[in-house]
């Protein structure tokens, strides 16, 4: 059994997609905890109702990123994670934190990286006029949104799109690729070499 800890800041729909896939597909994994940096994250209610332990480490109560990250790391490590999953987690993490979880920290970013790192990705896509947009699952490194890429999904950008319609189309794909990528990790099929991710063939 692999232990997975999921970090959220808000709604938690990607967290929910992973929890549901783990249960429906009977992964050899346990969602050990859902941890939020905000007390009002909607996803905490879902987690509690699903019987998953929750914890809150309120980022705004810490005076530095280093202190917050140390507190967050201590809380995460209580659950002995094999994998830590960022799912709509909105705080940039310091290098010591990222290094502690090297090779076992994943994120989903709502753009086709390396395009549009950072925030407001759908707005950036619309203002650049790109015709294809999407989402990227990647291992997290200290270099924001630049870690080794595990999976991507593309969607069309349509002439009448607003940020909301585009975000919704991307989110639908996120809910497909993120559980799949986490499953690959649980199955032990992912290796990183020269900054690139290799997916081993399905053993079955």
For residue 142, the minimal CB distance to ligand NHR (Å) is 5
Shortest gap between Cβ of 38 and ligand GAR (angstroms)?
11
Kindly tell me which residue out of 10, 81, 147, 148 binds ligand GAR, with binding defined by CB under 6 A: 10
On whether the CB atoms of residues 3 and 29 are closer than 8 A, the answer is yes
Q: What is the DSSP string of 132-149?
A: EEEEEEEE--SSTT-SPE
- Of residues 4, 35, 83, 93, which one binds ligand NHR by CB under 6 A? 93
138 sits in the region (left: phi over 0; alpha: psi -120 to 50; else beta) called beta
Q: Per-residue x/- marks for ligand GAR, 148-187, CB under 6 A?
A: -----------------------x--x-------------
Angle between helices 163-186 and 121-128 (to 10 degrees): 120
Q: Which does 10 bind (CB under 5 to 8 A by kind): ligand NHR, ligand GAR, none?
A: ligand GAR
| Whether residue 109 lies in the annotated active site | yes
Q: Which stretch binds ligand GAR (CB under 6 A): 7-15, 24-32, 64-72, 187-195?
A: 7-15
Q: Report d(CA 89, CA 129) in Å as an integer.
A: 27
Binding-residue total with ligand NHR (CB under 6 A): 16
Only segment of 9-17, 21-29, 158-166, 191-199 that touches ligand GAR (CB under 6 A): 9-17
Q: Are 138 and 147 in contact (CB under 8 A)?
A: yes
Residue 192 DSSP SS3: strand
- Residue 142 interacts with ligand NHR (CB under 6 A)? yes
| DSSP 8-state secondary structure symbol assigned to residue 102 | T
Pick the closer one to ligand GAR by CB: 29 or 135.
Answer: 135
* 46 Cβ contact partners less than 8 Å away, ≥ 6 residues apart: 12, 15, 16, 19
What distances in angstroms separate CA 139 from CA 89, 97, 143, 185, one per listed residue? 14, 13, 11, 11
Task: Tell me which residues touch ligand GAR (CB under 6 A).
Answer: 8, 10-14, 87-88, 90, 108, 110, 171, 174
Task: Tell me which residues touch ligand NHR (CB under 6 A).
Answer: 86, 89-93, 98, 107, 109, 118-119, 140, 142, 144-145, 147
Enumerate the active-site residues: 109
């Amino acid at each position: 059994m692999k232990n997975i800890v999921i970090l959220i800041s808000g709604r938690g729909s990607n967290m929910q997609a992973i929890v549901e896939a783990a249960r429906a597909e009977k992964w050899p994994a346990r969602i050990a905890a859902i941890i939020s940096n905000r007390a009002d994250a909607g996803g905490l209610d879902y987690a509690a109702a699903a019987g998953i332990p929750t914890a809150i480490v309120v980022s705004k109560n810490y005076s530095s990123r280093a202190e917050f990250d140390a507190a967050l790391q201590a809380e995460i490590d209580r659950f002995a994670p094999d994998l830590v999953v960022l799912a709509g987690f909105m705080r940039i993490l310091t290098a010591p934190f990222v290094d502690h979880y090297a090779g076992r920290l994943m994120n989903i970013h709502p753009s086709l990286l390396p395009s549009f790192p950072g925030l407001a990705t759908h707005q950036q896509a619309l203002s650049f006029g790109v015709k294809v947009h999407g989402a990227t699952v990647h291992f997290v490194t200290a270099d924001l949104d630049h870690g080794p890429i595990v999976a991507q999904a593309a969607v069309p950008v349509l002439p009448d799109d607003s940020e909301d319609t585009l975000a919704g189309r991307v989110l639908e794909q996120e809910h497909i690729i993120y559980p799949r990528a986490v499953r690959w990790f649980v199955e032990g099929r992912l290796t990183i070499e020269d900054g690139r991710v290799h997916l081993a063939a399905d053993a079955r």
